[in-house]
Amino acid sequence: MDCSLAARLLKGVRAATLSGQQPQMLPRPVIGESWGRMLRSGVDPDRDVRSGLLNVEEIEERRQASGLLEILPVLREALVTVADAAHHIMVVSDADGRILWREGSAAVLHKADQLGFELGADWAEETVGTNGVGTPLVARRPVQVFSAEHFVVSQHSWTCTGAPITDPRDGHLIGVVDVSGPLETMHPATLSLVGAVAQLAEARLRERHAVTLDRLRAVAAPILARIGGRAVAVDVQGWTAAVTGMQPVDRIVLPKSLSGLSELSDGRAWVPTLGMCAVAPLPGGWLLRPDGPDGAAEPLGGTRVVLDLSRPRRWSVTVTDGTRSWSHELSPRHAELLYLLALHRGGRSASGLAQDMFGDPTRTVTVRAEMSRVRRYLGSLLGHRPYRFHEEAELEVVLPQSPADLLPHSVAPGVLRSRSTPEH
């Protein structure tokens, strides 16, 4: 591949697109969508504007809180040697796009400093435009950005390939691993490599989670054996380690108040789908003892559901019932499903949702499996046959200002139709 020729062609595509003219060739969809977001948000394509660097203490604090320390050895082993040999560097950012680690070729590290690609820097898309750190955070998939595909002109000498990393324990996006270097070092295979390494890191997190659940199960089993009635032991993310006297589920949504038991004056809390529970701490988790009978329906009168899709990377559902309120951060797939159900308050069949999600009405098995997972935290607020929000629940959907910014990661036909509509 002639990198210089490709860079010149891309400069022409970018110039025509930014001036409102028809380019000779269209940018790749993931790049074109990112450029659209940058134009709408007012990022300056001709001037590099960025926020200040984090200091050493702030970087270390973010490293400890990011959830990335557990997988850093995996990333280093798989990428640093390869990156160094190919005149690249490996960069790891947190979920905000802040650079927390950089390793690799000393010469390339020096060039990265000149570009502002340094420890503590903010490389979120809304700050510095289309790039291999910020754009994967929004698109939720591996992205390669070459030369003039970068929105800001000062980055055109650079090529970068990043992949998002999601914590499988709670579905939260925790960061991006990126391989970057001068534009002449670009190789198309880097995209597959970085994507595979991100998946390997996520697999390591799954393995460690299984080990911690086994430890919690060993502690909880003798306790549950002595308890009469219903009880469940869960880890701090709500994954079930052991259960007695009730139907087992994979995971229970926990209220934020459980982050510190001292906040619970009487050692009790209201837990979605379980109701009021007696709560006791366990090493690495909680023991929950529900008050009500198994399968008790949640009250619906006066229940308010707020589906917040206004932010580019974090979507949530908040349920308020009287004085009780709880929130749950949504995965990309669940954000899509709940938005589509909000569009069809009268209900949607499994085949209808499959058509909206995948453009294929036969993919009902996938839809039913995902809806089963959603019902674990929304419970009776979601009906089925057809799938729908309960008619007695008040539903509010908070959308981004521009329809084009709705769930930017999504390729679901039902979401794409909404994005192309002037009004939601």
Residue 260 pLDDT level (bands cut at 50, 70, 90): low
Given a cut of 70, whether residue 301 has pLDDT beyond it is: no
Local confidence band at 124 (pLDDT 50, 70, 90 cut-offs): very high
- pLDDT of res. 265: 47
In what order do the strands lie in the sheet containing 240-244?
240-244, 231-235, 285-290, 275-282, 268-271
Measured between alpha carbons, how far is residue 291 from residues 224, 235, 390 in Å? 16, 20, 24
Please, what is the Cα angle at 390 between 385 and 394, to 5 degrees?
A: 155
Residue 214 has phi, psi (to 5 degrees) of -60, -40
Nearest to residue 91, comparing CAs of 60, 54, 122? Answer: 122
pLDDT over 50 (residue 118): yes
Q: Which of 348, 349, 340 is nearest to 406 (CA)?
A: 340
Q: In this predicted structure, which of 230-234, 386-390, 391-395 has the lowest mean pLDDT?
A: 391-395
Q: In the prediction, which pLDDT does 263 show?
A: 44
Residue 1 pLDDT: 56
262 Cβ neighbours under 8 A, 6+ residues apart: none
Residue 261 has pLDDT above 60, yes or no: no
Q: Is the pLDDT at 37 greater than 80, yes or no?
A: yes
User: Residue 173: what are its φ and ψ, rounded to 5°?
Assistant: -75, 125
Q: Give the global pTM.
A: 0.85
pLDDT in tens, 41-60: 889 998 887 778 999 999 99
**Among the listed ranges 21-25, 66-70, 191-195, 256-260, which one has the minimum average pLDDT value?**
256-260
Percent of the chain clearing pLDDT 90 (strictly above): 60
Lowest mean pLDDT: which of 53-57, 79-83, 116-120? 79-83
Least confident of 1-5, 15-19, 393-397: 1-5
User: Rounded to whole angstroms, how far apart are CA atoms 180 and 87?
Assistant: 9
Reading the block at residue 88, the tokens are 């690249």
Q: 403-407 long-range contacts, Cβ below 8 Å, gap at least 24?
A: 404/36, 404/37, 404/40, 405/37, 405/40, 405/312, 406/309, 406/339, 407/309, 407/315, 407/332, 407/335, 407/336, 407/339
Range of weakest confidence among 73-87, 182-196, 407-421: 73-87
Q: What are the φ and ψ backbone dihedral angles of 46, each rounded to 5 degrees?
A: -110, 0
- Determine the pLDDT at residue 294: 58
Contact partners, residue 139, CB within 8 Å, separation at least 6: 30, 33, 34, 408, 409
- The residue behind tokens 């003219």 is 21
CA distance 419 to 416: 5
Q: Is 114 left (phi over 0), alpha (psi -120 to 50) or beta?
A: alpha
Q: Which two tokens stand for residue 84?
A: 């160094």
Average pLDDT, rounded, for the chain: 88
Q: Which residues contact 167 (CB under 8 A, 6 or more apart)?
A: 67, 173, 174, 202, 205
Rounded to an integer, the average pLDDT of 321-348 is 89
